[in-house]
Structure 1
Amino acid sequence: MPADAASPPDPGQRRRLPRIRARLHELYYGHSDRSVRFRLTVITLDLVMIAFFIAAPLLRETPAFLFVDYTMAVVLATDLAARAIASDNLGAWLRRPVSWIDLFVLLTLLFPLWLFNLAFLRVLRLWTLIHSEFFWDTVGRRYNETRWEDVIRAASTLVTFVFIMTGFVYSSFARTEGIGGYLDALYFTIATLTTTGFGDITLPGTWGRMISIVTMLTGITLFVRLAQALFRPYKIRFTCPTCGLRRHDVDAVHCKACGELLNIPNDDEF
């Protein structure tokens, strides 16, 4: 055989990737105790990462900031690579808006000094985590058909909005009149969102007034959404096989929309 002839592919190497993909798919989407423990670990790391994102403006001047930032980048990159390998369709995974958000967050972690003014958008990972089936199939797998799913989703949306607006105000108006630091931006956001209107901190100019209006209107909407999730009559999620209605009374026997006979499982069967 000529010395420059291509060597045949290693059969073991050809089998290794499908084996790794199958193992990662089981860890990320399986229902075994091992899979649940793995996903709980991933979710815990996500929450630690989100806490760092929220506190980053306060930690930026500390010596350990870049070390923690790049450590988070390695963790997130590893998680995204594992999710991509575990997915059934890589193209579909890349087309998901959630994947775009995660890749953008990774980019801000890799270039923290250049993209710091956009780093407040990292908090979107809180919203994507709490609204993911990955979270509810793990943490809330026995409760994801109750009102608590709606309450936690609504609360996460409100918290995400608060810190995104805080980061936006801080990056746009830092060291201007009234906004001397991150805590001032958070104070302004909370006071405006709740329409308290103390008036001791205001944003200058027309642009500042527009931001205040958007904060107030969006905040009221999110508060109403959270209140609805907390106080509306308790419904259970079960898709009617005939008309597709998803919300029914807990003791419903027939669908209120079409009269179809329902067979809603008990709570311990979810």
Structure 2
Amino acid sequence: MKPTLRSRTQRLLHGVDRESRFSLFVHLILAGAIVINVLAVIFDSVAALADRYFLWFAAIEIICSLIFMVEYGLRVWSAPDNPRFEGAYARLRYIFSPMALIDFIAILPIFLWLFTSIDLRFIRIVRLLRLLKFSRYSTGLELMLLVFRQQLGIFVAASAALACMLVFSAGAIYLAEHQAQPGKFANLLDALYWSVITLATVGYGDVVPITPFGKFLSSIISLTGIGIVAVPAGILASAFNAELRRRENEYRHQASRQLQGKRLTEQLRHKLRSHQEELGISDEQAQSILNDIREVHRAESNEILTCPHCHQPLHLDLQDTETTPPPQKP
């Protein structure tokens, strides 16, 4: 069945096809628009540049917004051909997906700028969120978002423990230092600021306990902060390592299936390269996996007779001379 225009559009926007120059060109335009727009937002925050190059910044904003709007419209239109959203209300389910919401945020500032009187500083911050669209073209960012989604429950639990510790330490240091430093520990909000800085092991030094009990308490809180803040980092590192191992195993399985009894032709090389980029496997890891697979196949080929032409295993039909009578002569 010949693919429809909608299905071709969906495949084009879903990922980069390195064998298609048109696909590379489209994704280069989209990625370039993101980078140029974010750089324009940064330079536009400089008053001298904003006044001097106002028309240039406005043109960049309008052109990039039009590109993002066309992309968003095409993604919504082609959503029913995406296997993740096919079925009833495919477009509606796509619109409320995380990446679609990011795409919507990317086109929102142009409407805020043209049709509202919202503070331009707020609009600049919203425009900077367009950098999140770059996660489509960065395997590392995609992997990080995936790990965060997978470990969301654990992160919530760790964050809850951290929040409890922040409140308790703020209350304790407030009781210890309020009378000695009423200007720096005037209320629990000031104490909470100190607690955040101390638990994060940053310690700006602008607010320092001066009472003996306050110093002792701050030492305990600082040591506790090292352990509590390190918990999410350890969870994230472990989750990253597990996801990378899973992707390596998946690539190994796909490569073994593709290379089973076959030579590494140029077509197979392109397929494996495509799998490698989808899974975010580095060239060194992929080459190491392929070398391991070759060694396994080489060891198996020493034990199994193969056809020199098709490289398929040969099955010999051996007859039992004791049970099978010899052929009769005429």
TM-score, shorter chain, exceeding 0.5: no
Tell which structure's C-alpha radius of gyration is larger.
2
> TM-score scaled by structure 1?
0.44
> TM-score scaled by structure 2?
0.38
Q: Which has the higher helix share?
A: 2
Structure with more relative contact order (C-alpha pairs < 8 Å, separation 6 or more): 1
